[in-house]
Amino acid sequence: MYYLFHDFMKKLQLTPFFLLCAVFVEIAASQHETIETRYENGRFITSCVVPIEASEKATSSIMDDFIVQFGSDLPQLFTWAFKGMGLQGEGDELIVYHLKSSEYDEKTKMIHGKMDAIIPKIITFRDIGIDGKMYKKEVSNKRIVVQYDILKATNFIKEAGATFTITRENDTNALCRLDVQVKFGWFFNIFITQKRYRQNLEWRFEQLAKNLKEEAMKRDL
């Protein structure tokens, strides 16, 4: 009986230690892979962070390709950066998106895009024009920042912007951060509640960050 009691007390003493270890593991994981959205002054603000195990060369190349293909080769972008994001007219219970074209204007440095936005059984918006600019905002051996500003999106978005930041931790590891701010036009502002935003858009931003991570790691193989 004494040995059983002694063994029980020993296990009891170790329990806080194991619980503490579990908490530290959870905190460490959450510091590297997170996504959150808040709603302020009529804007949805989403931040997503994912770790990348890839070299500086690989992370730089994916950002260069993303900028070029976004303005001149949308089909190619669907094979990696936009893969699995449901942006080619796939079915969706809330809003169906179809990115149809994207063209870079050398003279104005603008990217002119067209898309359809469909709310099933309610309304369809065809050929929404989206004009924006994408450019490298900061480049160093430690950090790459790419900015995308939407300047016009008839009937859909009133104002929006996205910032991609890749920050190196060392030669083989980096953090990819995606910050998005969206203020919808009057109709979509009424329709897209915070819950609907999370169900319909938040996961797409997370998927984009994960796609960039996957491609960078693939290029290092």
Q: What is the mean pLDDT of residues 8-17?
A: 48
Please report the pLDDT score of residue 13 as a whole number. 54
pLDDT tops 80 at residue 96 = yes
Dump the DSSP string for the chain. -HHHHHHHHHHHHHHHHHHHHHHHHHHHHHHHSEEEEEEETTEEEEEEEEEE---HHHHHHHHHHHHHHHHH-HHHHTTTTTTTS--BS---SS-EEEEEEEEEETTTTEEEEEEEEEETTTEEEEEEEEEEEEEEEEE-SSEEEEEEEEEEETTTEEEEEEEEEEEESSSS-EEEEEEEEEEE-HHHHHH--HHHHIIIIIHHHHHHHHHHHHHHHHHT-
pTM for this one? 0.82
Of the two residues 209 and 6, the one the predictor is more confident about is 209
Of the two residues 82 and 220, the one the predictor is more confident about is 82
Please report the pLDDT score of residue 8 as a whole number. 42
Please report the pLDDT score of residue 154 as a whole number. 81
What does the pLDDT look like over 53-93, one tens digit per residue?
999 999 999 999 999 999 999 999 999 999 999 999 998 88
pLDDT tops 80 at residue 22 = no
What does the pLDDT look like over 156-211, one tens digit per residue?
899 999 999 999 999 999 999 999 999 999 889 889 999 999 999 999 999 999 99
Please report the pLDDT score of residue 221 as a whole number. 81
